[in-house]
Structure 1
């Protein structure tokens, strides 16, 4: 079986044939996915929503259930980079499809342009997510930079004006895993954060429910070192759009700590401390702070997070680890510990493909086949999590609906 995938990878449109040994399991999974797909088609046809979705929380949501040490009654679907399982990520088309499939939040990763405009890209390097390499006029922009202490070669968003970026088109980042998404290569522009906010407001009106935004500030220290800090641009965008208030349907997230602590003095929307599976926040590394992400999820670390943030976003193996064979084991105490501190818990990232599933939930040896994602959701929802980051919003909404109706 394939090894369990990590955050940086992604997935295709539908299941393919598995091996003979897995035909029965694959057939069962296809039936489940067909239900979710039909549900999604109904959503698209009527511009309605799945029963699992409702208006998003306000900044007081941390006290809604977490302060009681309980799971929120309304479990949220965060569309990870949009409907990344169906469209090239971080495009307006991906965000809109995710919302129409039932997502409560659309989640852009934010970087900046040369002229100080926030845009949505997975990384500051844009060579893997756009057709920039096909533009001879930008050939001399290719370079190597140190991103969080590691060399990265390519084209970087901060070396282009917004007008220049708008001449590029998005492409599927992992075509070998999501070949069906490649039919959309070259069709969609790079989206600005303002365009994403405008889209969320339009969709909220059309769908008759709040569609929130859940931006991540990417590599804050990297941009600060270039005198292109993301945080002032974000605060300005929230202020200009009337979103810097406690009842706005917005979460702001980061893998670093110091920028969230500073933002907690400037914004009234809830903040989310992201926690990777290993390593340390890069601002800790730069400042010589010896603490790691392991330290952040101890009771003491969670208490500190609660002093500046409303939620924690852990990599999902911190909630249910896997054994040496990649099979799910018993849950940790992280969800209960976080709830004890009044923190909401939104783990990442749930994807349907074998590559990203525990070994015991995979359907075949093909990493691109869909596995038993519903079983994974059931295990994680039972731990009391308050929401999920998902590449397939329709499947997430169906899993939550089933769980809540038990």
Structure 2
């Protein structure tokens, strides 16, 4: 082979490679060495009771969770925050004002102090048609209160509300779940008994290191049409089983893209029938709702 021909061949191959269309990275074309993320059940739509049946009873309280279970929710959702003394309070906001009408922050209070504040009085004031005198006696529960109430009779979808003050929240949550037997036989159920979610990538990666068999959902707060780059999806698929996104940001193209990676798509928070049906038609795998009875009714119809 003469030198001129060799140079021509190299240049020709370089041009062909440069002109070829770039392939979007997919699980088949490259992946990270990792412990495989836990799988969620295929062809199983999940009704996730957002803070319990919170359209009807005070959110994150035992009555809200009891009603959600009675309505047939697949999961009850809990938001967890660490108190000043390192205990796990079931509450969405760090500020107490919206739920209790009082000032203060969860992170600055002891759990026993939180349990002196009513978690139902504000709900009664805002919802006179649903108000009950007994709700005024409700307090902010601790994770162990919910686990003691339900044990393994329900499935838990838990969000870790992380902050710089919450060092060790991952280990604390896992320890509580193990103490009450929630993580036993994780892969031997119709649906996993517990799913953990967070906006913190680092937090989920830490959990994946500790208990890789627990399904993890990476939360995103897209303001409009959701999208993730191939490199973001590559990293995501190394530890997560799916994603959670605002319902308004969901669109068919994105859902299809996520599913090509073997990931599930759960959307929050949807209460109206028209929107629920639209999202189901798009192909989402689960819906967070304050009204689990409405979602269950829709998916139970013959025309679903």
Give the TM-score normalised by the residue count of structure 1.
0.59
CA distance in 2, matches of 1:215, 1:379: 26
Tell me the residue number matched to 1:129.
99
Matched, 1:345 2:265: yes
Tell me the residue number matched to 1:212.
155
| 1:163-207: CA deviation from partner (whole Å, max 9, x where unpaired) | 2222221036677864534545513121111121223327x2xxx
Q: Which of 78, 83, 90 is equivalent to 1:108?
A: 78
Tell me the residue number matched to 1:399.
298
Deviation at 1:228, TM superposition (A): 4.5
Tell me the residue number matched to 2:16.
none
| 1:350-403: CA deviation from partner (whole Å, max 9, x where unpaired) | 12xxxxxxxxxxxxxxxxxxxxx222221111111111101001001011112x
CA distance in 2, matches of 1:217, 1:173: 25
Tell me the residue number matched to 2:254.
334
Tell me the residue number matched to 1:310.
241
Contact map agreement 2:270 2:289 (CA 8 A) in 1: yes
CA distance in 2, matches of 1:195, 1:119: 10
Matched, 1:240 2:182: no
Tell me the residue number matched to 2:115.
166
Deviation at 1:238, TM superposition (A): 2.2
Q: Which of 264, 272, 293 is equivalent to 2:217?
A: 272
CA distance in 1, matches of 2:68, 2:122: 18
Matched, 1:192 2:142: yes
Q: What is the aligned-residue RMSD (CA, Å)?
A: 2.5
Tell me the residue number matched to 2:56.
86
Secondary structure of 1:180's counterpart equals: coil
Contact map agreement 2:99 2:119 (CA 8 A) in 1: yes
In structure 1, stretches of 5+ residues that fail to align are 1-58, 66-71, 134-153, 205-210, 280-292, 320-330, 352-372
Residues 381 and 173 (structure 1), Cα distance of their counterparts in 2 relative to 1, 3 Å cut: farther
Structure with max Cα Rg: 2
CA distance in 2, matches of 1:391, 1:400: 16
Contact map agreement 1:96 1:199 (CA 8 A) in 2: no
Tell me the residue number matched to 2:21.
none
CA distance in 2, matches of 1:340, 1:400: 24
Tell me the residue number matched to 1:142.
none
Q: Which of 366, 374, 378 is equivalent to 2:277?
A: 378
CA distance in 1, matches of 2:117, 2:57: 17
Deviation at 1:116, TM superposition (A): 1.5
Give the TM-score normalised by the residue count of structure 2.
0.78
In structure 2, stretches of 5+ residues that fail to align are 1-36
How many residue pairs match? The answer is 261
Deviation at 1:269, TM superposition (A): 0.9
CA distance in 2, matches of 1:384, 1:122: 28
Tell me the residue number matched to 1:23.
none
Tell me the residue number matched to 2:194.
250
Secondary structure of 2:300's counterpart equals: helix
